[in-house]
Amino acid sequence: MISGGSQERRGPAAAGAAPCSSQAGAVGGLDLGGGWGYAPSVESLRPPIRGEYGFFIDGKWRGAAEGKTFASLNPATGQGLAMVGEAGAEEVDLAVAAARRAYEGEWSRMSGGERGKYLFRIARLIQEKALELAVLETMDGGKPIRESRDVDLPLVAAHFFYYAGWADKLGYAFPGRRPRPVGVVGQIIPWNFPLLMLAWKVAPALACGNTVVLKAAETTPLTALHFARICEEAGLPDGVVNILTGAGATGEALVRHPGVDKIAFTGSTEVGKQIAAAVAGSAKRLTLELGGKGANVVFADAPLDQAVEGIVQGIYLNAGQVCCAGSRLLVEESVHDVVVGKLRDRLATLRVGDPLDKNTDVGAINSAAQLAKIRSLVASGVAEGAELFQAPGALPEQGFFFSPGFFTQVTPSHRIAREEIFGPVLSILTFRTPQEAAERANNTCYGLSAGIWTDKGGKMFQLAQQIKAGVIWANTYNKFDPTSPFGGYKESGFGREGGRQGLADYVVLE
Ligand code: NAP
Ligand code: MG
């Protein structure tokens, strides 16, 4: 059953020039009449996007072979932004060879202090170009500018600053041991936090003295290519960072290349399993950051208004296309109706539309394929008997958009309670005791994230110990910091990124 808005409801009211007018006058569910809505406030800065990009190999730009290019779209319009190359076995080979030369040349022998200077330089350049990169991220991937500007880019710079600081202190990270780099690292990243996932991978790898070949995601290659220009500007020695673009086959060629010493992958559990099988039996190291189905647990004694904000932050950040999204809300039965009522009101105030508008809360879905996946899983929820509520208001006519919403009447066996929707749709379940909350939270093949909302510290710690998840937020959600390790249990992968722990997979300890 479906109530509220609908993903099919599209209209000019929310499109293009007036992306936010669909919510005009509605504040906290209160209709204040015409004239109280938000005027469009579209970010005016435009990054210098080239018509065509090649690959960044050995410190030089190399054009793609004839016919081996594809377009990266702006998902908010469906229009092409730039043509990028599709790297094949030859380019992967060249990039790995360049990374090997750079590794065996000066980079692995350089002092940590000197390596750190390059990382600090990169971090400063990212800060200088932060708005330009944020706009590029938003145009290429569809996330709201407020997120790319205020969340992604500050975290990207912070990651480089943080690992720059470790470069000359590795001995302190591993007391009594002699850490040395692993060698040439192949890194494959997804499309939901393109530049941030690059930072999580490149910064610790370089700090430890490794060299890198990175494959950007097919739908969001542009910020990685602009990062390559930052490496040039920072004077990074040739071959230390190589950036390839392409599809799954490019990633697979990198994974299978015999010259790669370690693979670091962030993406879906399905592809992660294929990669694990591909490197099995080789000497390659592997870390996998995969999917999740995070439980956001709300007890009756929690500050409910704050919890509702945390629920919104947990599932509607980046339109729910977040591996650690709080996509399963477990709410104590006695406050179910109150929480659902507050959430329904809050949903009515979310502004969905042009990602470049500074007032937009929920932007575009990353691709037509992802939109189709969301629609199909949501349809399965309706077919299996859950009740769907979606934010009222029309969606833009162009581009890939989906109305944020939530399901009630969900049972643990529903697909929407088990599979990643990876979209702005929450599945709400209930529990009666802390024990049941723990069991339901753990009733998943994933183990990446969870949130707990309660007024009682003891209850918080007790439940946190029982939930099998790599990160557990207490009375908050989706907060990130470079000093804090992030990673999964079970089918969410293995290895940690961030913090001192994030260095461990990039060193060999002697
Ligand atoms: P995906 O399909 O697994 O793709 C991830 C990356 O792998 C992309 O660059 C992709 O290239 C590439 N790839 C595809 N097939 C490959 C193969 N056979 N061998 C090597 N590389 C291959 O995942 P996605 O849809 O982009 O991202 C969403 C998933 O990532 C979600 O499941 C999400 O939970 C997970 N994620 C996890 C974390 C975390 O830290 N745990 C963070 C963010 C996202 P193409 O782009 O060309 O397909
Ligand atoms: Mg794109």
pLDDT in tens, 419-428: 999 999 999 9
Q: What is the mean pLDDT of residues 33-44?
A: 79
Range of the domain at 283: 52-290+492-509
- Tell me if 196 is assigned to some domain: yes
Domain count, the chain: 2
* Same-domain status, 198 and 246: yes
- The one-letter code for the residue type at 85 is G
**Contact (Cβ atoms closer than 8 angstroms) between residue 56 and residue 214:** no
User: What is the predicted pLDDT for the residue at 2?
Assistant: 52
The 10 Å CB-count burial string (b at 16+, else e) for 337-355 is eebbebbbebbbebbbbbb
Nearest C-alpha to atom 47 of ligand 1 is from which residue?
A: 247
- CATH code assigned at 337: 3.40.309.10
How far is 75 from 403, CA to CA, in rounded Å? 15
φ, ψ of residue 152 to 5 degrees: the values are -60, -60
Does 371 reside within a domain?
yes
- Nearest CA to 311 out of 303, 447, 446 is that of 303
For residues 286 and 418, membership in a common domain is answered with: no
pLDDT above 80: residue 330: yes
Per-residue model confidence (pLDDT) at position 34: 53
Distances (CA, A) of 23 to 3, 28, 94, 104: 17, 11, 52, 58
Instruction: Evaluate if residue 204 carries a pLDDT over 50.
Output: yes
Q: What is the pLDDT of residue 65?
A: 78
What pLDDT is recorded for position 179? 97
CA–CA separation, 462 and 467 (whole Å): 9
Same-domain pairing of 396 and 504: no
pLDDT of residue 67: 76
pLDDT of residue 36: 66
Residue 387 belongs to some domain of the structure: yes
The answer to whether residues 228 and 275 belong to one domain is: yes
467 and 502 share one domain? no
Question: Where residue 247 sits, what CATH number does that domain have?
Answer: 3.40.605.10
In a domain? residue 45: no
Q: Which of 249, 264, 246, 285 is nearest to 57 (CA)?
A: 246
Residue 215 CA: nearest ligand 1 atom is 9
In the set 20, 208, 231, 323, the catalytic residue is: 323
This model's pTM is above 0.85: yes
Tell me if 499 CB under 6 Å of ligand 1: no
Report the b/e string of 36-65 with b at 16+ CB within 10 A: ebbebeebeeebebeeebbbbbbbeebebe
In terms of residues, how long is the chain?
Answer: 510
Q: Which two tokens stand for residue 27?
A: 């504040």
Q: Cα of 289 to ligand 1 centre, how many Å?
A: 9
Q: Is 50 exceeded by the pLDDT of residue 31? A: no
Q: Which ligand is nearest to the CA of 49?
A: 2
304 lies in the same domain as 221: no
- Is the CB–ligand 1 distance for residue 271 below 6 Å? yes
> Does 20 qualify as catalytic in the annotation?
no
CA 101 to chain CA centroid, nearest Å: 32
Q: How confident is the model at residue 8 (pLDDT cuts 50, 70, 90)?
A: very low
CA 30 to chain centre: 33
Question: Could you report the per-residue pLDDT of 116-169, keeping only the tens digit for each?
Answer: 999 999 999 999 999 999 999 999 999 999 999 999 999 999 999 999 999 999
Lookup: tokens for 144: 């709201």
Closest listed residue to residue 91, CA positions, set 288, 243, 315: 243
Percent share of the chain, pLDDT over 90: 91
**140, 87: one domain:** yes
The pairing of beta strand 2-4 with beta strand 387-390:
parallel
CA–CA gap between residue 347 and residue 311 (Å, rounded): 11
Provide the mean pLDDT of the chain.
Answer: 94
- Residue 385 shares a structural domain with residue 467: yes
Atom number in ligand 1 closest to CA 323? 34
Indicate whether 25 pLDDT > 60. Answer: no
Query: Candidates 323, 324, 370, 419: which one to mutate for ligand 1, based on the most atoms within 8 Å of Cβ?
Result: 323
**Three-state secondary structure of 342-373:** HHHHHHCCCCECCCCECCCCECCCCCHHHHHH
Question: Cα separation of 348 and 27, whole Å?
Answer: 8
User: Do both 80 and 174 map to the same domain?
Assistant: yes
Does 149 reside within a domain? yes
- Which DSSP category does 23 fall into? G
